[in-house]
Amino acid sequence: MSKVYIALQDNEESHYIVEAIEEDNPDVTVIYQPAMIRIECEGHLVIKRETVEEKMGRDWEIPALHVNLITLGGNVDEDDDQISLTWNN
Amino acid sequence: MSIEIKTSTLEPIRHTFEHTKRRFGDKPASRYQEASYDIAPEKNFHYRPMWQPDKLLNDSSRTAIVMEDWYAYRDPRQYYYGTYVQARAKLQEVTESNYAFFDKRGFADRMSDEVKAKIIRCLVPLRHMELGANMNNVLCCAYGTSTVLTQAFLYNGMDRLGIAQYLSRIGLLLDGNSTDGLAKAKEHWMTDSAWQGLRRYTENTLVVEDWFEVFIAQDVVLDTLIYDLMYRQFDEKITEEGGSDLAMLIEFMQEWHKDNSRWVDATLKSTVAESEHNKELIGRWVADWQEKAVADMAPLAEIAVGEEAVNASVEVLNKRLAKAGL
Amino acid sequence: MTSKKLNMKEKYSLLTRDLEWEYSYRDYEEIFKQESFEGIKITDWSKWEDPFRLTMDSYWKYQAEKEKKLYAIFDAFAQNNGQQNVTDARYVNAIKLFLTGVSPLEYQAYNGFAHTGRQFGGVGARVACQMQALDELRHVQTQIHAMSHYNKHFDGFQDFPHMHDRVWYLSVPKSFFDDARSAGPFEFMVAIGFSFEYVLTNLLFVPFMSGAAYNGDMATVTFGFSAQSDEARHMTLGLEIIKFLLEQHPDNVPIVQRWINKWLWRGYRVLTLVAMMMDYMLPNKVMSWQESFEVYFEEAATSLFKDLARYGIEMPDYAADAIAEKEHLSHQAWSIFYNYGHAAAFHTWMPTDQEMDWLSEKYPNTFDKYYRPRYEKWREMEEAGERFYNPTLPMLCQTCQIPMGFTDMENPTMTSYRQSVYDGERYNFCSNGCKDIFDYEPEKYVQAWLPVHQIYQGNCGGAEMEDVLGEYYRINLGTDNLDFHGSPDEARWNAWHNLQPAEDKLKKAS
């Protein structure tokens, strides 16, 4: 299975997002690099709006992810409630 | 008098880039200047475009307009990307709260069915025309010369997409998101005789190759007429007929048009002032497109506002042209 | 009346896709003139899957937020003279190369996506391209603004657009983008949207920006990461265009495969400049070129091509050639620039002992065997006051335009050399990839504005190198170029930090 990945700028808001990702995707690997956080997972990874909102304690929309996003790998599927990355192999 | 306290070692060795220095002198340049002047590639292109082998990749002969210096322009708003998106974000925030308020208070229910039907017939089909305006301005961006101009065309093009989206949201707000309003508006655009002239005009602009002529046909002639007709005259008319709440949904378009007109006027004026050749050519284009536009919009103007509406809009256009030296 | 709730997909579709109408006063072909000449078959634009669903109101809102943050940092950087806080003034040469070599490509991308943003018949694809055009304009402008302060304190930034159109090594990135823009709109998307943005851009930005962060360059890391936040959208568009073309018609598959082969190689060659920046120009190292190549090319591309296998798309043949070069590329590139350090608009230097040890550790199979001995020789010459500069003009590869300095990977002491004859003329290439690209479209690549040929033909200001470098390129001789040691950049840096000039140290040591 190929790894999907996402990298975020290392900042306050991203920490909450990473926490949410870890909760919703128990198998992720989180790698801290200078100024950025890289998160990898075999096959599939999802970021759920609800979980991020709960971690942040406020409203948060999926497009706001882009403000802190550095790069990603995998097929993207995005709707109001979640954004996911998948490799079908 | 300004006093500058200098530390010997940290004194800058130059004030700005060489290309801004050559143009504006040896002093700190503004962010607008550094981001807009003389940054487009000009020389030594490696390959001829396969899609237009008789031209270079960036080629000022894609219009019959001639400028000795294509950077003679200046956007009076001094928009570069950062100032542009921040200006639009501000306008967007107000608009968003207007739309939310309209929705929350159920203002659509306060409008009569006739008023709603009139908005769907006369205003909402403009969303398609705005898509044409989007394509036309992006064309001017893609084939125009000099960043001072091309960036402003792209901002304009994206603004038109934004306006098409706001118009679509008006359609959705009026019928509780059933999407019938949008379907009806599209039918008007496709088959209603009130709209066929304008649809033909739009389709005709989409095949024009000279990008400056596109600018004249779209941004100067058609926009001046239509924005006056719909966002001034129709706004007043629909208020009389009990649709005054529409005003809060079209404030964006009104504010935008004011803002954009400053740039259109400045661009037109600089080009006309350059030479008799330009003046004569633009004069011909204006006459040609104006004649078509006036005839093509007349049926819509009559049902949207009334008989005298076209003449009032033409007067606005003529004033504007006179100001530019035409 | 209660409103029905529309989800993001429905809403986006109504607000964008539904704006399109069927033309009846004019023909589709008159409005979209460039859709068929490349041989690509589009049967149904409505099958286009929007890669992201951003309406303009959200675009303005989020982009304004990013810009506000970014410019606050630029202001703070300038006010605090942040240029003093980079690890070492040699580092600044990496961002000189960035502004002269990469930022103008952002400009070209702005032009190119505006072109496809008008030419595609599907509104979904058009709008996605337009947004990318706008983003690319953002990138070039924020880069100029980030570098504006460095330009006030270091040499070599000052004439970047002029140089990009003329200087020999800058014709490598320029010809790459000219090549893509002069192709048809679909090839442009495969070239830039897919091959460059999806597969290669991570290799350009991510390690480099991490490097900037690690070297105290707040301005660069900030624009870099802020630009990358748009990049995720661009990558998604790149992948969507490929899938769309492959799903539209089976006849598209071989065309797309050929374009992928071509453009991955073409883009990879441009990244030679990045390989050298990473291994030689960052005083504090984050990761080697080889390491980042393995993560961002080998690993990521393997996943991607496995995913594309169901369409019949294969990993390009030349990927193996690129992989074979990973232990050599940066060293060979740096050697070329060290050789021609008098003809570049930035400074070069020999690595310190500590840096050479790092290179030995990162490149155990190649560095000590092939490159260290050469560097030690050059260092001896420098210490003897005879810093080596190569006075001849190099032969350039007709396709990628890099001087012919790459070696045969089977035998790394032999220069790799390929030839083709076209219309009675002989053309030279650095690799199989570059030769094949030429052989498929010779009528295009014979047009290349090769800087060395142009100098010989007298089109670059004169016959003397001083005329070419000084008058035509506008390099300030002895200031912008030559070795870092002894440069005005170094002298200013030392004055800021009360350091002794290197020459004094050398004198004392001897």
Report the 3 state secondary structure along chain B: CCCCCCCCCCCCCCCCCHHHHHHHCCCCCCHHHHHHCCCCCCCCCCCCCCCCCCCCCCCHHHCCCCCCCCCCCCCCCCCCHHHHHHHHHHHHHHHHHHHHHHHHCCHHHHCCHHHHHHHHHHCCCHHHHHHHHHHHHHHHHHHCCCHHHHHHHHHHHHHHHHHHHHHHHHHHHHCCCCCHHHHHHHHHHHHCHHHHHHHHHHHHHCCCCCHHHHHHHHHHHHHHHHHHHHHHHHHHHHHHCCCHHHHHHCHHHHHHHHHHHHHHHHHHHHHHHHCHHHHHHHHHHHHHHHHHHHHHHHHHHHHHCCCCHHHHHHHHHHHHHHHCCC
A36-42: strand order across its sheet: A29-33, A36-42, A3-9, A69-73
CATH of the domain at A76: 3.90.56.10
Instruction: Extract the tokens encoding B31.
Output: 């962010």
Could you tell me the pTM of the whole model?
Answer: 0.96
In terms of C-beta distances under 8 Å and separation of at least 24 residues, what long-range contacts does B237-240 make, across chains too? Answer: B237/B304, B237/B305, B237/B306, B238/B115, B238/B118, B238/B119
Q: Cβ contact (<8 Å) for A66 and C65?
A: no
Q: Domain range spanning residue A37?
A: 3-86
Residue A14 Cα to chain centre, angstroms:
9
The answer to whether the Cα torsion of C331, C336, C337, C342 is positive or negative is positive
**What gap in Å lies between CA B290 and CA B268, rounded to an integer?**
16
**C51-327 under CATH 1.10.620.20, yes or no:** yes
Q: Do B168 and C496 touch (CB under 8 A)?
A: no
Q: Which residues of A touch C307 (CB under 8 A)?
A: 2, 75, 87-89
Any idea what the Cα angle at residue B321 is, between residues B320 and B324, rounded to 5°? Answer: 95
β-pairing verdict for A36-42 and A3-9? antiparallel
Residues 6+ apart with CB under 8 A from C110: B154, C133, C134, C136, C137, C140
pLDDT at residue C122 in the model = 97
CB contact under 8 A, B44 and C166: yes
What does the alpha-carbon distance between residue C1 and residue B314 come to, in Å, rounded to a whole number?
40
Residue C501's pLDDT is what? 62
Q: C5, C6, C7, C8: which to substitute to probe chain A, counting the most A Cβ within 10 Å?
A: C8
Query: Would you tell me the crossing angle of helices B126-143 and B180-191 to the nearest 10 degrees?
Result: 70
- Are chains B and A touching, using the cut-off of 8 Å on CB pairs and a minimum of 3 such pairs? no
What is the CATH classification number for the domain harbouring B125? Answer: 1.10.620.20
Residue-wise pLDDT for C95-154, tens only, equals: 999 999 999 999 999 999 999 999 999 999 999 999 999 999 999 999 999 999 999 999
CB A82 within 8 A of CB A47: yes
Given a contact cutoff of 8 angstroms between Cβ atoms, the answer to whether C6 and C12 are in contact is: no
Domain annotation covers residue B200: yes
Which residue in C31, C84, C145 is closest to B34 by CB distance? C145
Residues of chain A neighbouring C68 (CB-CB closer than 8 A): none
Question: For residue B6, what pLDDT is reported?
Answer: 52
Interface contact C51-A35, CB threshold 8 A: no
**A and C: number of Cβ contacts within 8 A:** 88
Contact C229 A66 (CB under 8 A): yes
The C-alpha of A23 sits at a distance from chain C's nearest C-alpha, in angstroms, of 23
Strand order in the sheet with A44-48: A44-48, A82-86, A75-78
What is the Cα–Cα distance from B79 to C188, expressed in whole angstroms? 28
Tell me if B313 is assigned to some domain. Answer: yes
Is C179 close to B200, i.e. CB distance below 8 A?
no
CA distance C187 to C189: 5
- Residue B11, domain member (yes or no): no
| Chain B: touching chains (3 or more CB pairs < 8 Å) | C
CB contact under 8 A, B81 and C55: no
Q: Which two structure tokens, joined as six digits, stand for C402?
A: 């890099």
pLDDT score of C2: 65
Q: Which residues contact B132 (CB under 8 A, 6 or more apart)?
A: B202, B203, B205, B206, B218
Based on its alpha-carbon atoms, the radius of gyration of chain C, rounded to whole angstroms, reads 24
Q: How many distinct structural domains can be found in chain A?
A: 1
Tokens matching residue A36: 């950025």
Can you give the pLDDT at residue C510?
47
Q: Which of B37, B25, B21, B19 is nearest to B75 (CA)?
A: B37
- Interface contact C18-B92, CB threshold 8 A: no
Q: Do C307 and A75 touch (CB under 8 A)?
A: yes
B255 located within any domain:
yes
How many CB pairs below 8 A link B and C? 249
Residue B22 lies in a domain: no
Do B and C make contact via 3 or more CB pairs under 8 A? The reply is yes
Question: Pick from B31, B172, B203: which is nearest to C23 by CB?
Answer: B203
| Cβ-based burial of C10 (10 A; exposed 0-12, middle 13-18, buried ≥19) | middle
Q: Is C303's Cβ below 8 Å from some Cβ in A?
A: yes
pLDDT tens track, chain B, 326 positions: 566 555 567 889 999 999 999 999 999 999 999 999 999 999 999 999 999 999 999 999 999 999 999 999 999 999 999 999 999 999 999 999 999 999 999 999 999 999 999 999 999 999 999 999 999 999 999 999 999 999 999 999 999 999 999 999 999 999 999 999 999 999 999 999 999 999 999 999 999 999 999 999 999 999 999 999 999 999 999 999 999 999 999 999 999 999 999 999 999 999 999 999 999 999 999 999 999 999 999 999 999 999 999 999 999 999 999 999 99
Note whether residue B106 is domain-resident: yes
Rounded to an integer, what is the distance from CA A38 to the centroid of its chain? Answer: 9
Q: For A69, which of C65, C229, C310 is closest by C-beta distance?
A: C229
Q: Is C8 part of the contact surface with chain B (CB cutoff 8 Å)?
A: no
Q: What does the pLDDT profile of chain C (510 residues) look like in tens digits?
A: 567 888 888 999 999 999 999 999 999 999 999 999 999 999 999 999 988 889 999 999 999 999 999 999 999 999 999 999 999 999 999 999 999 999 999 999 999 999 999 999 999 999 999 999 999 999 999 999 999 999 999 999 999 999 999 999 999 999 999 999 999 999 999 999 999 988 888 888 877 788 888 899 999 998 888 888 898 899 999 999 999 999 999 999 999 999 999 999 999 999 999 999 999 999 998 899 999 999 889 988 898 999 999 999 999 989 999 999 999 999 999 999 999 999 999 999 999 999 999 999 999 999 999 999 999 999 999 999 999 999 888 999 999 999 998 998 888 888 999 999 999 999 999 999 999 999 999 999 999 999 999 999 999 998 888 999 999 999 999 999 999 999 999 999 999 998 876 555 555 554
* pLDDT for res C502: 56
Amino acid at B173: L
pLDDT at C270: 95
Closest approach of C423 to chain B, Cα-based (Å): 18
Q: Letter for the amino acid at C50?
A: D
Strand-pairing partners, residue C429, are C418
Residues of chain A found within 8 Å of residue C209, distances taken between Cβ atoms: 35
